[in-house]
């Protein structure tokens, strides 16, 4: 029998389960690939679809043992918790509306959780997960994968070191064009659930990609948002959730910010971009050119810092996997989060402190802040852009 409290996992992959991510799902395949990249996990069980037949077929595709392909997450959580070789972590890659119930079930069975964003569809459910994680002392990571990019971590380290001075202005945007037409009416699976309030929650582009921009702004700057004023739009006739969002932000330290999220901006593929300006310097990073970070000190020529190049900090170096000049980004960012979470999980099971360098993964508290951001923006827009408190009491 495996000793669940020993750190014997250091010699073998952690046993991973997955909920969602079956045939026809995009993000499940990404999570599986990235979890395997460092040899830290082995997928051994899954509840891969709410449709029993698709679940079985998806399990067969992934060569899972038939008895570990489950018809429901509840059945999976209960059965795996009883096995001496049961899963040690679960990856949740379902549409947003089911995250809370799934995460709660696995937490109650003593299983660490890796959850896609947004964490839940309501603030109440988010706070419930915060309390459950604090009570069980389990590991809970939210896969805002852009926090795993080397130059994002470099930017965070530079801000924390005071290289920008006091932050004054933050500009974040995440813009795409794939929902410029009413794609959801064509049967396209990924579009259909993202514009369905019953499955996506109250935010459309706001919840799908706006939360990434918001999380990135907080991750790099370390600033908490005090209040926001939002304008949510639905430009495609008949669409039930927003497809374009403009938001003004006021931060606790007095800084000001703007956030633009859109999925109806022709010519934009995956345009996540962040600009941060302090009293001493400015920074700019773009996801479509992830290996460069533009740094502009006051009174000096701007310079471009490159991933894998000289004079970078420890955080960027640890997140860098291949030599400078080679494309690196989306998959490796996810893999960095999975690698960091593996260290946290191993440390918890061995009852030791985790390597502090592994603690950059967004937490359950960060997930709650993202859900509050969505709720506050929806509330503000309903009040014609009134300023609304964006803080969440944790």
* Torsion sign across C-alpha atoms 198, 49, 108, 338: negative
Contact 139, 323 (CB under 8 A): no
Q: What is the dihedral of CA 64, 67, 10, 119, to 10 degrees?
A: 80
Q: What is the DSSP letter of 333?
A: H
Chain-centroid distance of CA 349 in Å reads 24
Residue 24: the pLDDT is 84
Please say if the pLDDT value at position 323 is more than 80: yes
Model confidence over 111-121: pLDDT tens digits?
A: 999 999 999 99
Strand partners, 118: none
Q: What is the pLDDT of residues 205-217, one digit of tens each?
A: 999 999 999 999 9
Measure the CA–CA gap between 349 and 7, rounded to whole angstroms. 6
The model's pTM: 0.95
Contact 320, 308 (CB under 8 A): yes
Count the residues in the chain: 394
Any idea what the Cα angle at residue 7 is, between residues 4 and 11, rounded to 5°? 110
Mean pLDDT of 128-153: 98
DSSP for 276-297, written as a single string: EEESSEEEEEETTSTTEEEEEE
Q: Give the pLDDT mean for 338-347.
A: 98
Laid out side by side, the sheet with 140-142 consists of: 41-47, 14-19, 89-92, 112-115, 140-142
Three-class SS state of 165: coil
∠ Cα 73 78 81 (to 5°)? 115
């Amino acid at each position: 029998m495996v000793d669940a409290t020993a750190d014997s996992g250091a010699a073998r992959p952690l046993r991973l389960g997955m909920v969602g991510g079956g045939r026809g799902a995009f993000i499940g395949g990404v999570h599986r690939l990235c979890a395997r990249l460092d040899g830290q996990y082995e997928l051994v069980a899954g509840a891969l679809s709410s449709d029993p037949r698709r679940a079985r077929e998806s399990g067969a595709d992934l060569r899972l043992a038939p008895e570990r392909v489950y018809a429901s997450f509840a059945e999976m959580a209960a059965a795996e918790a009883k096995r001496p070789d049961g899963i040690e972590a679960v990856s949740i890659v379902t549409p947003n509306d089911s995250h809370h119930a799934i995460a709660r079930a696995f937490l109650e069975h003593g299983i660490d959780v890796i959850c896609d964003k947004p964490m839940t569809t309501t603030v109440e459910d988010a706070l419930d997960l915060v309390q459950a994680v604090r009570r069980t002392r389990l590991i809970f990571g939210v896969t805002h994968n852009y926090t795993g990019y080397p130059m994002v971590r470099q930017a965070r380290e530079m801000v924390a070191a005071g290289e920008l001075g006091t932050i004054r202005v933050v500009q974040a945007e995440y813009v795409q064009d794939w929902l410029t037409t009413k794609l959801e009416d064509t049967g396209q699976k990924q579009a259909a659930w993202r514009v369905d309030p019953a499955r996506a929650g109250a935010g459309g582009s706001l919840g799908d990609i706006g939360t990434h921009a918001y999380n990135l702004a907080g991750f790099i700057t370390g600033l908490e948002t005090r209040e926001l004023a939002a304008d949510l739009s639905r430009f495609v006739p008949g669409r039930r959730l927003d497809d374009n969002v403009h938001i003004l932000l006021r931060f606790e330290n007095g800084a000001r910010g703007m956030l633009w999220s859109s999925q109806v901006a022709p010519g934009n593929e995956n345009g996540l971009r962040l600009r941060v300006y302090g009293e001493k310097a400015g920074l700019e990073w773009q996801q479509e050119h992830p290996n460069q970070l533009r740094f502009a000190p006051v009174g000096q020529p701007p310079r471009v810092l490159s991933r894998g190049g000289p004079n970078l900090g420890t955080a960027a170096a640890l997140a860098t996997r291949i030599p400078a000049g080679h494309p690196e980004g989306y998959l490796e960012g996810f893999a960095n989060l999975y690698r960091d979470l593996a260290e946290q999980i191993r440390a918890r099971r061995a009852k030791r402190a985790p390597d502090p360098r592994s603690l950059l993964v967004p937490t359950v508290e960060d997930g709650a802040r993202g859900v509050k951001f969505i709720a506050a923006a929806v509330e503000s827009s309903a009040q014609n852009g009134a300023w609304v408190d964006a803080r969440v009491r944790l």
